[in-house]
Amino acid sequence: MSRSYHGYRVAIVIRFQQKGRRLKRPALTTAEKKKQKQTDRHVEAVLAACDIISVFLQSPNQTLKQIIEKTGFTRNRVMRLAGTLEGRGFLHRDPQTGSYGLGTMFMSLGRVYERQSDVSSLGQSILRELARTTGESASIYVLDNLERVVLAREEGDKDVRMAIDVGQRMPVHVGAGGKVLLAFGSKEVRDRVLNSGRPKRGNPAAVKDPSKLAGELDRIRAQGYAYSLGERVADAGAVAAPIFGLENRFLGALGIAGPIHRFTPEALPGKIELVMRAAEELSRKLGGFPDSPSSEDQHLESYLNAYAFKPSSTGMNRGRMRGPKNSGLR
């Protein structure tokens, strides 16, 4: 039922069951139906505009024909939407070639996004969740000169944990986080470390042979993660994975660290998986599109490449882990 109140039609819908039947909502008036159709068209137009903009993720320049082929929209619809986006500064049309590119509005919005969405602010919630699921302290590391620096930190919930502070500096050639920075960082920094001679700092367990370290960095880059056992600190274990940003630019390393007795051959694969997933999530929030790991299958592939399981005599559900060649799991 309905009643008029100060010129407005107010629908009062009473919902209840009576003899197995429910009262129906009053039918929309002609004006209401027209307004609803307009709203639906506006939403559809916004979604279509988003589809057109998404095409430019594949290539910075797109012809009208390419946009039509990739979106499936009609020519008239693409021209109408592209013209609106161009008028608002979201697209730019080259008057000579007729091809489209992203407009200056995206540059302005990108600067705003960078100011409010840096690595540390976006990464804090991911570090918190990683610390919760692993029980270990989680950190984000960046490279500064030839040292790694703790950019963000979230403590684990264990009574015994690694004592690391935000801003703390550490050698880059030892530990999982440092080696990820070297493996995925610039060739210039990597070469400077490899040609600097024998490391003077770090635990004796650290790799001191440049050729051996170079091979380890290549392996880390190929598998998408690093782990260390007793390198920087004798009784500590760590796992780290790379973080990427816009245009897949390498930004830093995300990892966990804790007492070495919690990084056993049985526990390590699960920790590696959680760290890789967290690093991938942060990379996507920062605008990166990590090729590895980017799907569950690739996670599994990296996992199988690094570890081998053999059936044990106790049954099919248990196996004996064999670490990768030259690893600390042997």
pLDDT at 243: 94
The full set of domains in the chain, from first to last, is 2-106 (1.10.10.10), 118-322 (3.30.450.40)
Q: Are 67 and 98 in contact (CB under 8 A)?
A: no
Per residue in 296-317, pLDDT (tens digit) is 334 434 433 443 333 222 232 3
The one-character DSSP state at 68 is H
Question: Residue 87 and residue 92: Cα distance in Å, rounded?
Answer: 9
* Model pLDDT for residues 257-299, shown as the tens digit of each residue: 999 999 999 999 999 999 999 999 999 988 887 654 433 334 4
User: pLDDT tens-digit profile of 207-249?
Assistant: 477 888 889 899 999 999 999 998 888 888 999 999 998 888 8
Give per-residue pLDDT as tens, 147-162. 888 888 888 777 766 7
Residue 15 reports pLDDT greater than 60 = no
Instruction: Name, in order, each residue with C-beta under 8 angstroms of 136's C-beta and a sequence gap of 6 or more.
Output: 156, 158, 161, 162, 256, 257, 258, 262, 271
Measured over the CA atoms of residue 135, residue 136, residue 137 and residue 140, the dihedral's sign is negative
d(CA 80, CA 73): 11
What does the block give as tokens for 140? 């984000």
The answer to whether 150 touches 120, Cβ cutoff 8 Å, is no
Judge if pTM exceeds 0.75. no
| pLDDT of amino acid 270 | 94
